[in-house]
Structure 1
Amino acid sequence: MKRIKLSLICVFVGLFSPLLSAASLPDFTELVEDASPAVVNISTVQKRETSALSTPFGQFHGPNGEEIPEIFRHFFRDMPQFRDRPHKAPQSLGSGFIISRDGYILTNHHVIKDADQVMVRLNDRRELEAEVIGSDERTDVALLRIKADGLPVVRLGKSSELKVGEWVLAIGSPFGFDHSVTAGIVSATERALANENYVPFIQTDVAINPGNSGGPLFNLEGEVVGINSQIYTRSGGFMGLSFAIPIDVALEVSEQLKGQGFVERGWLGVVIQEVNRDLAESFGLKKPAGALVAQVMADSPAASAGLQDGDIILSFNGHDVELSSDLPPLVGRVKPGESAEVEVVREGRRKTLEVTIGRLPDEQQQASIQPEQPLETSRLGVVVAPLPDELKEKWGIRSGVIIERVEEGAGSRAGLIRGDVITMLDGERVETLEQFTRIVADLSSQRSVPMRIVRRGSPMFIAVKPN
C-alpha cells in the first residue's frame, strides 16, 4: 500500500512539475501593459556628414581608423542607408521615457549628441519635436521636453534599494522594433567602468541591442530603477553584460539640467589610485582597501583641508571606500560649498579631516618631456638624474629625481620605466640625488616600501621590494 501511495505521489509531482516551475517565475505582462505607454522612441537628425564607418551595431572604427573600446558605448540604432546618400541627413534611433505629465523625458546624452533635430514618437503614434533642456556627457544623461496633453508617465523607484539577483526588465526599440521587452537579473551594483568616474553602474544580463539606448530599466514593482546605457562586447553584439545608469543619479542630474541647464559636481582635488596587495603591505594595512592619494592638487579643497600625498582614504561622508573607484561618485554628488568628512590612514594612524567641497573644474591635459641630465646609479637597479626645472613647472612637481634607465633589479620588477619621476620613497620626500641615495641605502630588504612616482604627468604609488 505504501509503495502504491509513493508511486501516485511521484506521478502527481511529475505531471505538475512544469506548472510548479512556471509558477515560480515572475509574470511581466501586467508590468509591461502599465509601463509601455510611457516609453518613447527617439530619432535624431544630423545635417552634417560624418566619416565614421557605421554598422547596425554602431561604429566599430572612428574617422581615423581607430578601434572603438570594448566598452561599447554607442549602441543606439545608427542607420547606414542614409550614409550612402550625401544629400540625406544621417539618422539614428534610441529610446527614452516620460517622467512628468508636462512632457519631460529622460534619455542618454549619446542618443541626442550633436543632433540638429530630435523627434519623439509616442505609444499612440504621435510624433513630436523635442526641445533639449540639457545634456550631461559625464553621466550620459539628457533631459528633453515635448509639448503634448494626456501624457502617460513612468513610476520612479530607488536604485539604491536594488539587490543583486533581483529581476529587472527593459523596454526599448532595438533595431527600431518599438516597445520590445527583455528581462534578466541584476548582476552587480555600483559597478565602475573605465573612463566613467561619476556613475556607479547597475550591471544586468538583460538583452540590450542597438536602439535600447536611453530606455528604462524596471524592477518587479513597475518602477524605473535605471537608464540602459552601455554593453560590454567583443563582437559588437550583446554578450550578457549590460549597464544602466542608476535612476537616483539620473534624477539628480536632471534636476540640475532642468534648473540651470548644466551640472555642477563636487571636487576634492586629489589624484587617486587603487591599493593593491603590495601597496597595502608597504603602507602597513591588513588588507587592500581605500583610495591612495597619489597627488594633492595645489589650491584645491583637499590641500586646504590638509590631505597629503600618501594618505589612504577609507571613508567619505560616512560611506566606506573599498575601491578607489568608489570615491569619485561620492564626491561628485556633494554640492560645491558643502562640508564633508574624510577618514584617512596616515603613517599607520587613522585621522578624520573636514573638507569644504569645491566645484569640479574643466579637465586639463598634460604632455611629457624627456630631458637629458647627468646620471646617478642607485641600488634599486635604476639610473636617475636631477629633475629639470621645466618638468617641475610643467607637472607641478616641487622636487624629485628622474629615471633615465631601468636595469635588472627591484625597479624593473616593480614596473618602473624611463621617464618616471620619483618624488617620495618609504614615506620620505625625495629632494636631491644625495638624499635619494641615502634613503635607498637605508631600505630594508625584508618588506615592500611605497614609492610615489609621476609618469607622464600622472602621479601614482607603486610598491618596491629591494633585493
Structure 2
Amino acid sequence: MTERPTDLSSFPSYRKSRLSLFSARKFALMASVVAGLGVAAYGLSPSNGPVDLFSSPAHAQVANEVSKVARPIGFADIVERVKPSVISVKVNINEKVAKDDSGNDDDSPFQPGSPMERFFRRFGGQDGIPGLRGNGRRAITGQGSGFFISADGFAVTNNHVVDGASKVEVTTDDGKTYSAKVIGTDQRTDVALIKVEGGSNFPFAKLADGKPRIGDWVLAVGNPFGLGGTVTAGIVSAMGRDIGNGPYDDFIQIDAPVNKGNSGGPAFNVDGDVVGVNTAIYSPSGGSVGIAFSIPASTVKSVVAQLKDKGSVSRGWIGVQIQPVTQDIADSLGMKKAEGALVAEPQASGPAAKAGIESGDVITSVNGESVKDARELARTIGGLAPGTAVKLNVLHKGQEKAIDLTLGKLPDTIEAKADTGNDNSGPTRGTDVPKLGLTVAPANSVAGAGKEGVVVTEVDPKSAAAERGFKEGDVILEVAGKNVSSAGDVRDALAAAKNDNKNSVLMRVKSGGQSRFVAVPIAKG
C-alpha cells in the first residue's frame, strides 16, 4: 500500500509558520524597496529605543551597488538660473478690418498662403479679438514670449508678436508688469528688439557663441496659452531647416513641446545659453506634435546688433534670381557635383549684371569660401554689409572665372513682377514639340506673354515636361543656352543637344514673373 504524502497545510502550526515566512519575505522586499529609495526605517522592539533594521552587511552591499547606478539628469538647477530672464509679452494692435478673397478677416502680418502665415494662424502672435470699433478698426490682443539680453531692459521676441503693436507690456518671472517699446523689427528673420522701461537690473540671458549639435538637450521657456513661466525639454532634432519662408531660412528643429504663445521665447542649452528663438511649429492639429523651429543664436546676434544700432537691418545684395543646382542641371552643364547657385536671371541694374554675370552662370564661391547651394549664397551675401567688395568664382559657359563686385543694398520691398500673364485673348493652338510633350507658340503671338521666347499652350500630363512642373502660360526663353522664338528653334536646340550625346537639355523658363532653369531629359529615337 502506497503511503500518501501528508498535507501539512491542514495543520494550524504549518499555516502559521507559512504565513510568518510570507510576511517575513514581504517585509524584506518592502525593506529593499525602501532602502533603494534611501529612506531610513525603524522597527519596533521590546527595547525602549529604535533599532535600525537596515544596518546589516547585506543591506550595505545593496546600497553600495545602488549608488553606482547613474541617476536621471534633472534640469532644475538650469531652470532656476535662466527662468528669471524670460518674459511674457502682451500686445494691443489697432488695425483696419481687412478681408481676404474668402471674405474672412485677415490679421496675419505675412503674405497670404505663405508657410509663415499658416504657422502664424496656428502658433504665434495675436490671439483673440475683443471686437470691432465704430471707426472700422478692431483691437487685437496678442500674447507671446521673449527674454532679456541686457540688464538695462533690452529684450528679444518675434517680429510677428509685436508687428504693428500700439502698446506692448511685459510680465517678468516674479509677476511684475512693465511697459515696453519696439526698437526695431526684421520681417525676413522674424526677429524683434524691444526695450522694457522702468528697471535697470533685469536678469538677462546670454546668446550662445557656438552652434548646437543634433541630439543636444534644449529647454524651451515661454508663455504658451498665456501660461507664463512654462518649461519644456527636448533635443535638437535637425539643423538648417528650410520651411519655405524665404532665402534666409536656417532654422533649428527641436522636439521640446512648444505651443501658441511660445513665439519669441528662448531655447536654452544645458549651459544656460540661448541657442535659438522659438518662432514656429509644424502642426496638422494646431497643437504641439514635437516639431518646432527656432532662429539660431548667430542670426539673432547679427540682427539684434543692427536693430539696436539703427532700428533696421541692411543686407548685402548682388541682384540675381538664383536656384539650386540639381543633379540633372549639373549633368546638363557638365558639372561633376551638384553644388553652387545657378543664376536664373540677373536684375538689369544690379551689381551682378554690371559685373558681367549672366543667366546660366553658376556662382561657386564667395571670397574663396565654397557655396553649397542657393540658400547658402543668399545667407552669405545677406550677412555682408552693403558696399562690401567681394570676389565671386563663377562657372560661365563651362569655364571658371573670377568676378569682383561691390555689394548693393537689399531693397526693403519686392519689386513688381513682370507680366508674363496667362490672359490669352482667344485660343492659340501652337506647334507640338513631341520629344518634350509640349505645344508651344511664339510669345509675341499670345497676348500678355511678352515678346521673347515661346509660350507653352499645352502640356502632355504624362510627359517629362509635366513631371518637371511645366504648365500652360510658361514662357521658354532659352534652350541649351540659345534664345528661342519658335517651335523650330526649340526642335533645333534639342537636335543639337542630342548630337552632342547630352542626356538632358537645360531650359530657362519664366513663370509668374520669376525665371528658373529646368533640366528636361531628351527622348531617344
Query: What is the TM-score normalised by the length of structure 1?
Result: 0.85
Structure 2 counterpart of 1:401: 454
Please list every run of 5 or more consecutive structure 1 residues that lacks an aligned counterpart in the other structure.
1-7, 54-60
Change (3 A) 1:83 1:208: farther
1:261 aligns with 2:311: yes
C-alpha change, 1:166 and 1:318, in structure 2 (3 Å) is farther
* Greater strand content: 1
Alpha-carbon contact 1:374-1:386 (below 8 Å) kept: no
1:277 equivalent in alignment to 2:324: no
1:118 deviation in Å? 0.3
Q: Secondary structure at the match of 2:237?
A: strand
Tell me how far apart the structure 1 counterparts of residues 165 and 235 of structure 2 sit (CA, whole Å): 33
Gapped regions of structure 2 (runs ≥ 5): 1-57
Deviation at 1:107, TM superposition (A): 0.5
What pairs up with 1:43-82 in 2 under 5 angstroms? 43-48=90-95, 63=106, 69=115, 72-73=119-120, 75-76=123-124, 78-80=126-128, 82=130
Distance between the aligned counterparts of 1:274 and 1:134, measured in 2?
A: 32
**1:1-40 to 2 correspondences below 5 Å:** 16=66, 20-23=69-72, 25=73, 27-40=74-87
Which shows bigger deviation, 268-277 or 109-118? Answer: 268-277
Q: 2:250 aligns with which of 200, 221, 238?
A: 200
Report SS of the residue matched to 2:307: helix
Q: Cα 1:365–1:20, aligned 2, differ >3 Å: closer, same or farther?
A: farther
Distance 2:96 2:356 in 1: 51
Cα deviation per residue 1:206-265 (whole Å; 9 max; x = unaligned)?
111112111111111111121111111111111111111112211211222222222111
| Aligned partners of 1:379 and 1:441 also within 8 Å | no
SS of the equivalent of 2:81 reads helix
2:493 is aligned with 1:439: yes
Match of 1:448 in 2: 504
Q: What is the rounded CA distance, in whole Å, between the counterparts of 1:186 and 1:52 in structure 2?
A: 39
Shift of 1:376: 3.9
How many pairs does the alignment contain? 444
CA distance in 2, matches of 1:348, 1:33: 59
Structure 2 CA distance, aligned partners of 1:163 and 1:149?
35
d(CA) in 2 for partners of 1:340 and 1:450?
Answer: 29
CA 315–416 in structure 1, closer or farther in 2 if over 3 Å, else same: same
1:369 corresponds to which residue? Answer: 421
SS at match of 1:90: strand
1:149 — aligned with what?
A: 200
Pairing 1:93–2:149 present: no
Find the counterpart in structure 1 of residue 275 from structure 2. 225
Deviations 1:384-442 (A, max 9, x none): 222329989x87x8x32222233475544544322221111112233566544432332
Q: Deviations over 1:114-152 (max 9, x none)?
A: 221100112232211111111111111111112213211
Secondary structure of the 1:156 match is coil
Offset at residue 284 of structure 1 (A): 2.0
Instruction: Determine the structure 1 residue equivalent to 2:173.
Output: 123
Q: Is the 8 A contact 1:199 1:249 kept in 2?
A: no
Could you tell me how far 1:360 is from its partner in structure 2? 0.8
Q: Work out the CA distance in 1 between the residues paired with 2:268 and 2:200.
A: 25
Counterpart position of 2:341: 291
CA distance in 2, matches of 1:340, 1:139: 24
Query: SS in structure 2 opposite 1:193?
Result: coil
What is the rounded CA distance, in whole Å, between the counterparts of 1:128 and 1:259 in structure 2?
A: 23
C-alpha separation between the residues in 1 aligned to 2:471 and 2:289?
A: 37
Distance between the aligned counterparts of 2:99 and 2:81, measured in 1? 39
1:324 to 370, 374, 378: 374
Residue matched to 2:440: 384
Identify the range of structure 1 (265-274 vs 103-112) with the bigger mean alpha-carbon deviation. Answer: 265-274
Amino acid across the alignment from 1:76: G
TM-score (structure 2 length as normaliser): 0.76
Question: AA paired with 2:510?
Answer: V
Bigger mean CA offset, 268-277 vs 86-95 = 86-95
Q: Distance in 2 between matches of 1:203 and 1:436?
A: 44
Structure 2 residue matching 1:418: 3-state secondary structure:
coil
The 1:312/1:22 distance shift into structure 2, 3 A limit, reads farther
Identical residues among aligned pairs (%): 36
* Secondary structure class of the residue paired with 1:155: coil
Give 1:67 deviation, angstroms.
7.0
Q: Does the 8 Å contact 2:390/2:405 carry over to 1?
A: yes
Larger Rg: 2
Report what 1:4 is aligned to.
none
The correspondence for 1:308, drawn from 354, 358, 367, is 358
Asked whether 1:164 is paired with 2:211, we answer: no
| Kept after mapping to 2: 8 A contact 1:73/1:231 | no
**Residue 85 and residue 404 in structure 1: after superposition, are their counterparts in 2 closer, same or farther (change >3 A)?**
closer
2:297 matches 1:247: yes
Contact 1:76–1:212 (CA<8 Å) still a contact in 2?
yes
Amino acid across the alignment from 1:151: F
Higher relative contact order (CA 8 A, sep 6+): 1
